Amino acid sequence: MAKKGKKQGGRNLPPANGAGCEITALYADENGEIFDAPGMGAVGRSGSQLRPLTPEDLIPLPESADLMFLPDRQAMGVAGDGEMMPLTGNAVAAILPAGYTRTLLPGFQRLEDAGQLPLYGYTAVAVYKDELYAAAIYTDENHKWDPANYNTHDLKKLVRKVKKDLPDNPLVEHLANCSLEWHCCTAENLFYRRWECGIPTSPVCNANCFGCISLQPAECCPSPQSRIKFRPTPEEIAAIGIYHLESAPEGIISFGQGCEGEPSLAADNISAGIRLIRARTGRGQININTNAGYTEGIRKIVDAGLDTMRVSIISAIPESYAAYYRSSYRLADVKASISYALDKGIYVSLNMLYFPGFNDRAEELAAWKEFFRELPVQMIQVRNLNIDPDAFLAIMPEQQSECVGTRAFLQELHQAYPQLVIGSFSHYVEK
């Protein structure tokens, strides 16, 4: 599995040849120590295609990013004559904080019998101008998701306080575990009494996403968190919803968290819970994060008093969508749910799972333009798809045309639909 690397001499890795304006490849030794490779240019990857990194690809590595080395994946570099060749060491990847969208994957040569990588968003990284740089763009800024705001020294005390305020509620116990064990930000916000609070409701799902973060087959990589095992009642849902929305600044409650399946499958309990909440308070925002495949459930939740809906989606092409979600519903059902929500005045955003060399294929871009013409959603939240690159490409349809590149992909969508907000985070929507 991928492992955190040890940065030689801290964040800066000055090239040994002193050529600070060259883009120099990185590699890791068997102990995880990370080194630069003087004289060897850095390589990135779009889909399965390797290419040298250019200055236009790079931004300074964000302060809260991590470096990882990739076992059984040999680092690649490009010599002065343009020849690409493997380096003697493991490939190195950057893991970006939220708000940054990767534009290229790390270039590597996968060794025979290499195991599947865990669920991270692997990004090309190199030395440039005597600093670490990553192949990425800055997509969105939101101080609410700054890691410094979470896992503070007083979190355990705050958990005890909310448990006392809301006794005998299994959802509170579940969210306490999510906060202290999995460090889930939306779970922690319940105890910090602020912003967006997640309320998981569904232990089951109608999709079998290849990159699911809460349930994976035994032969795959481990999931980073565990799925909820019970079905909260409307009263348990409402107790947390009222508690949070009545006091939290820019308060949001969200159904559809990383620790659950598909929330619309719990539509009866959620819709009843929403009605209980709105009978008590009109404050704040009620949101659902959903695959939107179960349209009947989405209609019930919308009609109960939903404010916003974020739909997880990877492609506007039915065959590509089906290859990833492996669901019991079709993309047409997702579109029907979005259409219903828009007709009811719901603010709809797409949680676009992004993979360089897939989403920016010309055929994908054309399909997205048609999608937004038919369904004028308000926002795209671009999210790096956390996945083993080779395992992902192995299950997806083959590329039919050239890739336009991440920047051009997003620019063309915005030019075609100027009203479309492109970011990375859910934003509080003023009523």
Question: What secondary structure does DSSP assign to 99-145, as a single string?
Answer: TEEESSEEPEEEPTTPPPP-S--EE-EEEETTEEEEEEEE----GGG
Domain-embedded: residue 430: no
Domain-embedded: residue 196: yes
Domain-embedded: residue 281: yes
The whole-angstrom separation of Cα 236 and Cα 239 is 5
The pLDDT value given to residue 325 = 97
Please count the other Cβ atoms lying within 10 Å of the Cβ belonging to residue 13: 19
Place of tokens 């690159």: 389
Phi first, then psi: what are they for 200, rounded to 5°?
A: -70, 145
The verdict on 202 and 250 lying in the same domain is: yes
The verdict on 15 and 149 lying in the same domain is: no
The pLDDT value given to residue 214 = 58
Low-confidence ranges of the chain (pLDDT < 70): 1-21, 213-225, 431
The verdict on 241 and 265 lying in the same domain is: yes
State which of 138, 155, 180 marks the end of a domain: 138
The pLDDT value given to residue 431 = 65
The verdict on 222 and 328 lying in the same domain is: yes
Domain-embedded: residue 157: yes
The verdict on 191 and 325 lying in the same domain is: yes
Enter the pTM of the model.
Answer: 0.92
Domain-embedded: residue 326: yes
Domain-embedded: residue 305: yes
The whole-angstrom separation of Cα 372 and Cα 73 is 38
Q: Can you give the CATH number for the domain in which 331 is found?
A: 3.20.20.70
State which of 120, 138, 156 marks the end of a domain: 138
Contact 247, 193 (CB under 8 A): yes
The pLDDT value given to residue 3 = 56
DSSP string of 303-369, one letter each residue: HHH--EEEEEES-SSHHHHHHHH--SS-HHHHHHHHHHHHHTT-EEEEEEEE-TTTTTBHHHHHHHH
The pLDDT value given to residue 9 = 32
The verdict on 314 and 366 lying in the same domain is: yes
State which of 138, 167, 194 marks the end of a domain: 138
Domain-embedded: residue 105: yes
Residue 301's identity, in one-letter code, is I
The verdict on 72 and 176 lying in the same domain is: no
Q: 84 pairs with which residues across the strands?
A: 78
The pLDDT value given to residue 427 = 84
The pLDDT value given to residue 344 = 98
Q: Give me the number of domains the chain comprises.
A: 2
Do strands 6-7 and 33-46 pair parallel, antiparallel, or not at all (unpaired)? parallel
Question: Which structural domain range is residue 125 located in?
Answer: 3-138
The verdict on 159 and 133 lying in the same domain is: no
The verdict on 150 and 122 lying in the same domain is: no
